[in-house]
């Protein structure tokens, strides 16, 4: 019986499990989405939410506590500078889990873990259009590049 034992063991010893969770949290924070198994996502989700809540407190003590959990400055700075202001008016529930189906190799249930409020990213040229519009945008882009090259050759002569 597993009395008074909290968390999933995931068939790993303590050090390997801590390293796995730390690397999953790091990649989730930096990439803002993570495709993983259901059990791993369920294990790191509360930890990531606690990190964001701690970052919302601000101050040096909060930063030290974050460095204890994930000792990488780039990750801690991203939590403090990007994620904490994004969720400043939200009391909790910073992440969502979307089910993707089973993995073909071993039929493990796969999920996509992502933030509930995404950052605003400008769409690339031709995004959200049909095939004809994308092709026209690409042709226009190539024409602009060719025109710049021809103007550069004229100015050299």
For residue 120, what pLDDT is reported?
Answer: 56
pLDDT tens for each residue of the chain, 157 residues long: 777 777 888 889 999 999 999 999 999 999 999 999 999 999 999 999 999 999 999 889 999 999 999 999 999 999 999 999 999 999 999 999 999 999 999 999 999 999 998 865 544 544 556 777 777 787 777 777 777 777 777 776 6
For residue 147, what pLDDT is reported?
Answer: 77
For residue 81, what pLDDT is reported?
Answer: 92
For residue 1, what pLDDT is reported?
Answer: 72
Q: Which residues of 72-99 are buried (b: 16+ CB within 10 A; e: fewer)?
A: eeebbebbbeebbebbeeeeeebbeeee
For residue 122, what pLDDT is reported?
Answer: 44
For residue 137, what pLDDT is reported?
Answer: 80
For residue 146, what pLDDT is reported?
Answer: 77
Can you tell me which residue has the tokens 């993995």?
103
For residue 96, what pLDDT is reported?
Answer: 95
């Amino acid at each position: 019986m597993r009395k008074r034992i909290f968390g999933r063991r995931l068939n790993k010893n303590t050090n390997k499990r801590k390293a796995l969770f730390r690397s999953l949290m790091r990649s989730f924070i930096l990439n803002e989405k993570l495709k993983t198994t259901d059990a791993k996502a369920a294990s790191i989700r509360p930890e990531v939410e606690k990190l964001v809540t701690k970052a919302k407190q601000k101050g040096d003590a909060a930063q030290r506590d974050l460095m204890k959990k994930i000792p990488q400055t780039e990750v801690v700075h991203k939590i403090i500078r990007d994620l904490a202001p994004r969720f400043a008016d939200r009391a909790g529930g910073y992440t969502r889990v979307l089910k993707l189906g089973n993995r073909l190799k071993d039929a493990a249930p796969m999920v996509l873990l992502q933030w509930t409020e995404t950052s605003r990213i400008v769409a690339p040229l031709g995004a959200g259009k049909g095939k004809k519009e994308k092709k026209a945008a690409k042709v226009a882009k190539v024409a602009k590049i060719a025109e710049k090259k021809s103007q550069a050759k004229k100015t050299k002569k």
